[in-house]
Structure 1
Amino acid sequence: MDMRAFATLAGLALVGATIFTILSFSAAPAPEPTAYAARRETLQERLKRLPGDYRGWAQLASQYVDQARITGDPSYYAKAEDALATAAGLNDRDDAVLTGQAALAAGRHEFAEAARLAERAIDANPYGAAAYGVLADARIQLGDLRGAQSAVDRMMDLRPGVAAFSRASYAAELRGDRDGARRYLELAHDDAWLPADLAYARYYLGELALHSGDLKTATGWYAKALQAYPAYTPALAGQARAAALDGRLTEALDLYDQVVERLPLPQYLIEQGETRIKAGGRPDWTLLRAQRRLFQAAGVRDDLTWAEFEADHGDPAQAVRHARAEYARNPNLVAADALAWALFRAGRPGEALPYAKEATATGWRNPLLSYHRARIERALGRPARVDPGFDPALSALARFS
């Protein structure tokens, strides 16, 4: 799943991976909370002084969700839940509290609940742009692209800016409108002034170039993202991705070592493992499995990651189980593709084809989805073109992070 579906409002609270990571209020990372300490009272200090500040508790919860995303440590979700429980105990109808609850639900991949809570927040305050952002993200994950577009449009009306433009870009991309997606990201870039927002827009301009096969342009955007915000780990991962796809495997592995040291998210660990296999080595999935247990213990339901991993590197039967569970909860394009590929890898291409068609029905020009559908159709004796430039050994690198 694309990181633009899981972003944060600059000034409130970085983004994280994939589909893998986590949704909050806006589009990109803000400065670390400690950056404020020398200039003004910290939020924790304010809450000690004013324990009845329910909006402050909601903001603290937002920061914890962001920290889970920034650090890869899902234990922050429990802290966010506690802060939101305090906020709701003071005022369970406030739109900021409800939006915070929606963001936490989305962080745990409970997108139906996230949408329900975001809609309650909008009922409480129809002019709260942040709630529309959460709603748009949740509806995309639920496969409701029309509803997501409606939420994005409303957000654009209320607060055009980095958060709204980035979501509009993703919506355009899912329709197959790559040029439109690029234009919206350029608008986000033009609107950005915080270094983190600049890094975010430049990173996704790099991702668009990467997935259209333009590795040189992609590498340039990733470098510019890191110039703006050196701590922006997704851009470092982008550099590793581009190097691997360009055949510079030693360089890519050096970069991935830095990435996973900073942020050991499952997406990055899988990319690193596939690059190591491509280089002739053997991956060690120990840390990946440890991360899986941590996320499960924190209440994060991420069957999608494990469906994709098991299909490519493990047990296809387990992949089917995970993919069915994900698709049942969140019937989006990526979940449909994961189920199609899991069924194919389990030797059931006839069952796989309807899901592969569903995954590619909107015109989204995603090289991984196209490759999966072509392989499935070929297995059924149908003519299908497999892109000769696509490297199935590095399939995780073609996923949108």
Structure 2
Amino acid sequence: MNISKFALLAIITFAFAGVACVEQEQTIAHEMTGVDAGMTEDSDPLVQRAQEVIAKSPDSPKGYNQLAVVYIRKARETGDFPLNIKADELIDKALALAPQDLTARKLKASLHLTLHRFPEGLEMGKQLQKEVPEDSFIWGVITDANTELGNYEEAVAAAQRMVDIKPNTSSYARVAYLRSLHGDHLGAVEMYKVAARTADPGDKEVQSWCLTQLGDEFLRNGKVSDAEKVYDEALSILPQYPLALVGKGRARAAQNDFSGASDYIARANERTPHTHTVILLGDVYKRMGDLAKSRAQYDLAENGEEKLGDLHDAHRVALFWADNDINLDAALKIAQDDYETQKDIYAADTLAWCLYKKGRLDEAKSLAREAMRLGTNDAMLRFHAGMIEKGLGNRAEAKRLLESALALNPTFDLFQAERARKALEELN
């Protein structure tokens, strides 16, 4: 398979934020340490099994590696992110016992990315690649790290190497994401479907993850009905899967079913309240007219660092502040710090938006262009760029960008889409 023929020579999240790391843990479960990847609904027996290995051989890294894999999988199944920190601590124990253990080092490189230590993950991945040049998992780490750091050409090259070595669900999903970043919607849909189709039928979490990513791709491109069908399929496999619950909620909100949307998103937040889903639930409550519930969610997002712990995302708070014209100095500082360490298109977009809100329009325009350099189909990127052009008095370009945002996805945000329409009315 050749990535470049699908327009991947030019390249986020989340992004989803963070989407670049999501395939690693499932690959570990398939490829390492003898853990049964099919047992996804009740991992406690796997915990016990790994603990027995540790008790029997406390000076061997094997049991620590196995238990780390179980925690990583449980984190993905449930959205309980702090389990990744437990896994990281276990891998440190394994490496203290055996510094050159390949399994532990691969897990450590992967966890660097999961815990947003992207430069460290890239450095470790490159070192491992020199030692084991034909390991597809290591090429996946290199792909993900480069994607998160904004090194898109390097990410494409690494993904191509990965799929050449081992064409499977893990490599197909990375190809899909890179195609999406480059604006190749049909190519991304194709590869997410292939990734889901080739997933281990006994691994419910992997199947649900692939389907949820496909749903997100549909939703970003304004195909709400297609997205909802795929989210429903994911939830039929894992009914409490947090990512699919949030996706379903967003699809309901896009169709003005705010009561249904709040139910799905609240179910996800009951298990693991991430900053972005807390803000999303606040937005839904606000659209329902329940300002007390909305304010409670916003307060949790803004001030809940202690309560949300590792799920607190200052970057998302900065974007919320900029959207609402509050705490703009603090928002700009967060965005600047993020951009210094992670120059992907979404860090550039957030910084552009914060600069715009501070009236620094020329700087904002430069960053907005950087954010759009891959041709990504993301209405929010186009909206931000359009508002910046409007602020600069470039009416024709502002109109083109705002119309493009709404044509791509008329319901791209519960509040910003309406602001885009009002801005167009002013321009007309």
Q: TM-score range by the shorter chain?
A: 0.7 to 0.9
User: Percent identity, aligned pairs only?
Assistant: 27
* 1:21 paired residue number: none
* 1:305 paired residue number: 316
TM-score (norm 1): 0.86
Distance 1:307 1:234, change over 3 A: same
Q: Distance in 1 between matches of 2:358 and 2:389?
A: 15
1:315 aligns with 2:332: no
* 1:18 paired residue number: none
- SS of match in other structure, 1:363: coil
Instruction: Tell me if structure 2 keeps the 8 A contact 1:47–1:56.
Output: yes
* 1:144 paired residue number: 151
Q: Distance in 2 between matches of 1:91 and 1:180?
A: 43
Amino acid at match of 2:212: Y
1:34 Cα offset (Å): 3.8
Within 5 Å, give how 1:153-232 maps onto structure 2.
153-192=160-199, 193=201, 194-232=203-241
Distance 1:113 1:369, change over 3 A: same
* 1:129 paired residue number: 136
Within 5 Å, give how 1:33-112 maps onto structure 2.
34-35=42-43, 37=45, 42-68=49-75, 70-71=77-78, 73-112=80-119
Aligned residue pair count? 378
1:72 Cα offset (Å): 5.0
Instruction: Tell me if structure 2 keeps the 8 A contact 1:12–1:59.
Output: no
Write the deviation string for residues 370-392 of structure 1: whole angstroms up to 9, x where unpaired: 11101111110112231342455
* 2:420 paired residue number: none
1:37 Cα offset (Å): 2.1
Instruction: Tell me if structure 1 keeps the 8 A contact 2:240–2:268.
Output: no
1:216 Cα offset (Å): 0.9
Distance 1:158 1:9, change over 3 A: farther
1:127 Cα offset (Å): 2.6
Write the deviation string for residues 69-126 of structure 1: whole angstroms up to 9, x where unpaired: 5555554344233212211112222332222222222122111111111112222322
Out of 301, 305, 308, the position equivalent to 1:288 is 301
Q: Distance in 2 between matches of 1:258 and 1:42?
A: 31
Distance 1:100 1:392, change over 3 A: same
- SS of match in other structure, 2:134: coil
Q: Distance in 1 between matches of 2:318 and 2:102?
A: 35
**Structure 1 gap segments, 5+ residues each:** 14-28, 397-401
Distance 1:301 1:230, change over 3 A: closer
1:199 Cα offset (Å): 1.5
1:128 Cα offset (Å): 2.4
Moved more, 231-240 or 308-317: 308-317
Q: Distance in 1 between matches of 2:209 and 2:174?
A: 12
Structure ranking higher on relative contact order (CA contacts 8 Å, 6+ apart):
1
Instruction: Tell me if structure 2 keeps the 8 A contact 1:109–1:301.
Output: no
Distance 1:170 1:216, change over 3 A: same
**Structure 2 gap segments, 5+ residues each:** 1-14, 30-36, 418-428
* 1:343 paired residue number: 355
1:252 aligns with 2:261: yes
- SS of match in other structure, 1:133: helix
Greater fraction of residues in helix: 2
Structure 1 stretches of at least 4 aligned residues deviating more than 3 Å after TM superposition: 8-13, 29-36, 62-78, 293-296, 300-303, 390-396
Amino acid at match of 1:176: G
TM-score (norm 2): 0.81
Q: Distance in 1 between matches of 2:41 and 2:57?
A: 19
Distance 1:344 1:59, change over 3 A: farther
Q: Which has the greater radius of gyration?
A: 2
